[in-house]
Amino acid sequence: MRVVIVDDEDHVRDSLAKLLARHCLQVTVVGTACSVVVGIRVIQELRPDLVLLDIQMSDGTGFDLLTSLAPVDFKVIFITAYDQYALQAFRFSALDYLLKPVNPEQLVASVNRAGSLLRDHFNMQMDALYENLKSIARQDKKIILKTTDQIHLLDLKSIVCCESDSCYTTVHTKEGGRIMVSKTLKEYEEMLAECGFYRVHKSYLINLAHIKRFEKSDGGYIVLTNDLKIPVASRKREEMIELLERMAE
C-alpha cells in the first residue's frame, strides 16, 4: 500500500514513517503533509491507498480534509488524542484510530486491517461517525456491524439484545433481525455499558429500554419487547431488581 501521513507535528510524522518502515514492509510512505490544506493537495497528487490522518490540526480538522475530498476513495487510519466519549463514537462507527503516542503493535494491527478493508464501506462509516459525534451524550447513536459479506448501519435503540456465540456475537433487533458479528460479547459490553445496556448473563447483553418485565420464577428471567426470554445469572438477580426499581423511580 502507498501511504500518506498527515499530521501538524513534525516528530509525529517522523515517528510514524520510521515505525512503518520498520514494522510494515507491505507499505511505502510516498508523502507527508503538515496541515489540512497541504494534505488535500498531496493526496490529490499522489492518490495513496492509505492515509494516516491527524484529527486536530492548526488549520482545521481531519474531517475538513475528508469533506473536501469526498467521496473518499482511500483508506484512513485516524491519529487522535480525543477523549473517551469521542473514541466511543469511533468504535461504534467501526473506524480505525490510534491514540497518541502511537503504539507500534497497534499501528501494525491497524495497517493489516486496512489492507483487507473494502473502500466502499468507508463513506458509510464516516456518515455514522458524524452522527455519533453529534449525539455523544444520547442513545440515538448509530453502530456499524460487519459480517463476512455485509455492513449494517443500525440505530443503537433498535438493538434488543446481544447473544454470545463463542467468539461471535448475534445481535437481535426489534425488527426481528439477527446479525452475527465476529466480535466477542465482552467487546460489546465494554462498548455499550454506558449506553443503557446491561450484562445479565454470561451469554446475554440486553438493552434496558427493551425490557418488558422481569419474571422471578425459574431462577429469574427477563422478557424483552420482542418476547425473547433472557435468563438472569444468580449473582446478577438482586442487582437486576435494584436496577429496575431505580428505572421506575
Q: What CATH number is given to the structural domain containing 219?
A: 2.40.50.1020
Query: Tens digits of per-residue pLDDT, 68-80?
Result: 888 888 888 888 8
Question: Which of the residue ranges 118-132, 139-153, 185-199, 232-246 has the most confident prediction, judged by mean pLDDT?
Answer: 185-199
Structure confidence at residue 104 (pLDDT): 92
Grid cell locating 99: 491514540
The pTM of the full predicted model, rounded to 2 decimals, is 0.58
Percentage with pLDDT > 90 across the chain: 43
Residue 30 pLDDT level (bands cut at 50, 70, 90): very high
Average pLDDT over residues 44-49: 95
Q: Are residues 36 and 103 in the same domain?
A: yes
The pLDDT of residue 62 is above 90 = no
Which of 104, 134, 164 is the last residue in one of the domains?
A: 134
Is 143 inside a domain boundary? no
Q: Are residues 35 and 113 in the same domain?
A: yes
CA-to-CA distance for 89 and 39, rounded, in angstroms?
A: 24
Compute the half-sphere exposure of residue 13: CA atoms within 13 Å on the CB side of its CA.
18
Compute the half-sphere exposure of residue 151: CA atoms within 13 Å on the CB side of its CA.
17
Is 208 inside a domain boundary? yes
Which of 87, 104, 134 is the last residue in one of the domains?
A: 134
CA-to-CA distance for 21 and 29, rounded, in angstroms?
A: 8
The pLDDT of residue 214 is above 80 = yes
Structure confidence at residue 120 (pLDDT): 59
Q: Which DSSP string corresponds to 53-82?
A: EESEETTEEHHHHHHHHPSP-SEEEEEE--
Range of the domain at 164: 156-248
Residue 121 pLDDT level (bands cut at 50, 70, 90): low
Is 149 inside a domain boundary? no
Structure confidence at residue 200 (pLDDT): 92
Residue 202 pLDDT level (bands cut at 50, 70, 90): very high
Q: Are residues 172 and 99 in the same domain?
A: no
Structure confidence at residue 125 (pLDDT): 74
Structure confidence at residue 222 (pLDDT): 92
The pLDDT of residue 195 is above 90 = no
Grid cell locating 142: 448509530
Is 229 inside a domain boundary? yes
Q: Are residues 126 and 195 in the same domain?
A: no
- Residue 183: count other Cβ atoms within 10 Å of its Cβ: 17
Query: Tens digits of per-residue pLDDT, 139-177?
Result: 567 888 988 888 898 888 899 999 998 899 999 999 889
Total count of domains within the chain: 2
The pLDDT of residue 55 is above 60 = yes
CATH number for the domain that contains residue 116: 3.40.50.2300
The pLDDT of residue 137 is above 50 = no
Is 151 inside a domain boundary? no
> Residue 74: which of 51, 95, 90 has the closest Cα?
51
